[in-house]
Amino acid sequence: MPLSGRTKLGIAIAVSVIAGLASVLLAVLLLVLAVFLIAPGGNYLQKALARIDLTLGPRELGQEDSAPEDLQEESAHEVERNLAQEEYFRDIMRGYSPTTRRNLRQLRVSGDPKDVLAEEWVQYFQDGLVETTHSGRGGVRAELRELLGRLLDEFQDNTP
């Protein structure tokens, strides 16, 4: 017989209290977890715990193998965001000359901004492709390396 959400929560609280009585350190950790859940940013922790529950917890009979609705909705929004970001950067690549794309490809591989003309690096920076460091010009943004690699592969620029 499947348990209701309220019953599961009650069991979890009871187990937490018993475990807290058994160990002061565990009680402190549970209290910190409770504070983070209550705090304004607690929804992030709740989503993280839901993802952990999906990966670790056994499925009840008759329950779908899909994520809860809020996680599915979040995943759909994330996919939309990623597709929009990909199309945004694809449009930027279309506006570059073959030489500019080749130099961006080299910067992505080498990570050395000295390999790129200053004017090109400034253009890359304005387009949000590269980052600055404490010493000045930096390489391709880490979170864009894979995406830019795929997009640059789409363009059949002759390499020297």
Reduced 3-state DSSP string for 19-71: HHHHCHHHHHHHHHHHHHHHCCCHHHHHHHHHHHHHHHCCCCCCCCCCCCHHH
Which residue(s) pair with 140 in the sheet? 130
pTM recorded for the entire structure: 0.50
Measured CA to CA, the distance from residue 8 to residue 148 in angstroms comes to 45
Coil, helix or strand at residue 64: coil
Angle at the Cα of 32 from the Cα atoms of 27 and 33, rounded to 5 degrees: 95
Q: Which of 18-22, 56-60, 114-118, 151-155 has the lowest mean pLDDT?
A: 56-60
Residue 60 has pLDDT above 70, yes or no: no
Measured CA to CA, the distance from residue 148 to residue 129 in angstroms comes to 9
Answer with the residue of higher pLDDT: 72 or 108: 108
